[in-house]
Chain A
Amino acid sequence: MKYPETVEHSCDVLVVGGGLAGCMAAIRAGELSEDVILVDKSNPERSGCAATGIDHIWGYFPEVQQAEGISLDDMVADHIDNIAKGLINREMIYYITKTSLNRILDLERFGAKIRYEDSTLPGRFRLQYQVHACRNTLHFDGRDVKRILTNAVRKQGVKIVDRVMASDLLLHDGQIAGAVGYGTRDGKLHLFRAKAVIMACGRPNRLYRTPSGLVFNHRMPPTLTGDGKAAMFRVGVEMINMEFVSIPGRWSSKNFVRGGGLPGGSYQPPGVGLNGLDEVIRPRNHDVIDYGETWKGTSTKVTSWARLMAELRAGRGPIYADMSWGSEEDQEYMRWAISHEGTGTAFLDVMEHYGLDFRLHKIELFPIEPEHSAFCASGPIVDESCQTNIPGLYAAGDEAGGIPQSVVPGALTMGYLSAESAAAFAKKVGRIPEGKGEEQLREFCAEIVARKRGDSWEEAQLTINNIMSDYNLELKSETMCRRGLECLDYVKRTMRLVAANPHEMTHCVEMRNLIECGEIVLRSTIERKESRYNLLQRLDYPERDDENFFCFLGQRMENGRIVFDKHYP
């Protein structure tokens, strides 16, 4: 057997994944520990959800909120009751709400522009209504936030190892001892020995078929394939909420699925939603009051995804965002807004290239791929220090489970907190432990290298998408999920992956992790015998069952067996 060459690294704190959470963790860990390594599958300068930008961050802005009569406790309660419907890690959402503004001010310190002369609010913040029932969401130019953060990581003296995809964790006597990854360009195995590890690899994407049929035409970054969650699960970390899937994830421009707020969201004053009969089904933000509604953020009542779907089902589709109204200044502001979030800059460039203009053209909207959205909050259960059930192993941001809609504030604050916890843990560990756990990945890669003929990763990807979409979306039931598990198991045993180079091998390793995540999802779906809002709809248990399932359903592996536990928040 020809094994890939191994490169060894060692450090006090290892941060896996350089998104917003990982970068913030690396910076804080760098302040508190000697040796910190940040490893990323791509390049933190343009990686993860915020690769080409974020444009809003919610938080508690004391001066503004107090003028509205909203206390910190009120905002936390709003989040718990109205957004999370009670199912949330309460300590963590309190911490996130309380410290979000501090991390926003960190971003300013690192070089981001967050204040604007035209704002008449205290601090000259442009604040908007978004998901909470008050004006608490900073609107800013975050297109280059990842570049700004990566610079700060470097300045802090943290070593960045990019183009390495972590895939397994090392343990020593039940305690974390590092991670092992595959070099996506050099084709080597990278062994990271560490006293404490922070996982921040984001959500598991690419599990389901996309509406366009193109695997990478995704709202969420398709680079993210649940590698962190799969790695953690394999060493016994307890996962929660994996059975929750948003179907569809949300709505976006049709065909060119746009990462970020859909055209006509909260930031576009001229935007209105139309159905196929040219009827207004989503009034302009400021007009909502004329419709007799109290303003409660963008995604309430008048504009809920369910409402848009109902229009389609009633035969009144398609749905459009018409943003042709507004002054030149409004149009300018809208383009400014769009260009800062996700694929917005690309969207505007492409519109220009193809001769499209918001003044002249409305944009058709369509449901996007099913996703483990921010509302699902799937991942390891963590305590108030971001620690998982394995000592020394932490999770932050989208990687961590149990905090719905924590999004950017969650990534920034939990990144910071997990670093403080990990640095303190590392201080107590004398020498870097000699952990084990690299064999599986080494064998997996060696087998593929040795193979001359077989299945391409594309075929495996398609098969996984088909299984997950056929057995775990509209037709969800115990028997269908069991069949889904049978099929995934068959694929696992039968596929003979081949790879011509490290790029293809990376995709092969992704298939291993996607299958792992798919299995966790299907098993948890079977175990949660109820339906819960749009996050989980089962045909065999159509009712919500708060008596038995108002809980986080934990799933973990113990001595090769699957164990379930309920946790009541």
Chain B
Amino acid sequence: MPPIIDKDLCAICGTCYDVCPQDCFSFEGDEPPSVPYSRECWHCGACAIDCPEGAIHLELPLPMHIVPSAALYGPPGEGEEEKLKRAAAFTRSIIKE
């Protein structure tokens, strides 16, 4: 199921067929590619990233779904400025004394 091509948007350029590391697509040059090997998709996203028309999106087979679970924290509360500053220093090298 993974890569879904919107045939109305597809410009029949063949880029997805060119780049797919798993060779999931089939392409003859005269119509939008088909995906005979969608079951072999790695979900790497290369086809969607490189499609010049934004015509591809990925859908997941059921066993790969991310089952939602509510988060605990949400946006930072009052008085957490110091913590935020330290987080930035640690992860983004914004280490102003």
Contacts and interface: CB of A to CB of B under 8 A. Distances in A.
A343 interface: yes
B87 A256 contact: no
Contacts of A51: 21, 44, 46
B39 A345 contact: no
Given A127-B93, A255-B66, A327-B84, A214 B61 contact: yes
Interface string A312-323: 000000001011
Nearest to A255: B64
B11 interface: no
Nearest to B37: A503
Contacts of B43: 217, 256, 343, 346, 350
A340 B11 CA distance: 26
A46 B16 CA distance: 10
Interface string A17-48: 00000000000000000000000001101111
A506 to B, nearest CB: 8
Contacts of A361: 68-71
A351 B57 CA distance: 12
Interface stretch (A117-125, A377-385, A487-495, A535-543): A117-125
Interface string A176-200: 0000000011000000000000000
B60 A350 contact: yes
Contact of A42 (B23, B73, B75): B23
Contact of B73 (A127, A255, A324, A351): A324
A362 B70 CA distance: 6
Nearest to A278: B72
A330 B88 contact: yes
Interface string A116-151: 001111000111110000010001000100000000
B19 A45 contact: yes
A470 B61 CA distance: 26
Contacts of A428: none
Nearest to B71: A324
B6 interface: no
B71 A330 contact: no
Nearest to A41: B21
A222 B22 contact: yes
B22 A324 contact: no
Contacts of A346: 43-45, 48, 58
Contact of A285 (B45, B76, B91): B91
Interface in B55-97: 57-61, 63-76, 83-84, 86-96
A27 to B, nearest CB: 20
Interface stretch (A1-9, A92-100, A269-277, A477-485): A269-277
A256 B72 contact: no
Contact of B45 (A42, A214, A349): A349
Contact of B91 (A163, A266, A327, A343): A266
Size bracket, chain A contacts = 35 or more
Interface stretch (A152-160, A352-360, A548-556, A559-567): A352-360
B49 interface: yes
Contact of A284 (B19, B39, B44, B87): B87
Contacts of A329: 88
B53 interface: no
A325 B74 contact: yes
A52 interface: yes
A212 interface: yes
- Specify the main secondary structure of chain A where it touches its partner: loop
A184 B37 CA distance: 14
A6 B39 CA distance: 30
User: Which residue, of A185, A353, A355, has the highest number of chain B Cβ atoms within 10 A?
Assistant: A353
Interface in A198-235: 212-218, 221-223
B72 A362 contact: yes
A317 to B, nearest CB: 13
A267 interface: yes
A120 B95 contact: yes
B76 A253 contact: no
Contacts of A356: 66, 68
B71 A322 contact: yes
Given A286-B83, A354-B65, A361-B69, A218 B74 contact: no
User: Which residue, of A119, A286, A323, A361, has the highest number of chain B Cβ atoms within 10 A?
Assistant: A286
A111 B22 CA distance: 27
Contacts of B88: 269, 329-330
B45 A52 contact: yes
A125 B93 contact: yes
A363 interface: yes
A525 interface: no
A216 B76 contact: no
A326 B76 contact: yes
B5 to A, nearest CB: 15
B41 interface: yes
A137 to B, nearest CB: 10
Contact of B84 (A119, A139, A278, A330): A330
22 contacts: A42-B22, A125-B93, A128-B90, A139-B91, A143-B49, A215-B40, A221-B42, A222-B40, A223-B42, A256-B60, A269-B92, A286-B89, A322-B72, A324-B74, A325-B73, A327-B76, A345-B45, A349-B58, A353-B59, A361-B68, A363-B66, A506-B23
Interface of A: 42-43, 45-48, 51-52, 118-121, 125-129, 135, 139, 143, 163, 184-185, 212-218, 221-223, 253-256, 259, 266-270, 272, 274, 278, 284-287, 320, 322-327, 329-330, 333, 342-343, 345-346, 349-351, 353-356, 358-364, 503, 506
Q: What 8 A-B pairs come out closest when comparing CB atoms?
A: A346-B45, A324-B71, A269-B87, A46-B46, A286-B86, A42-B21, A46-B19, A325-B73
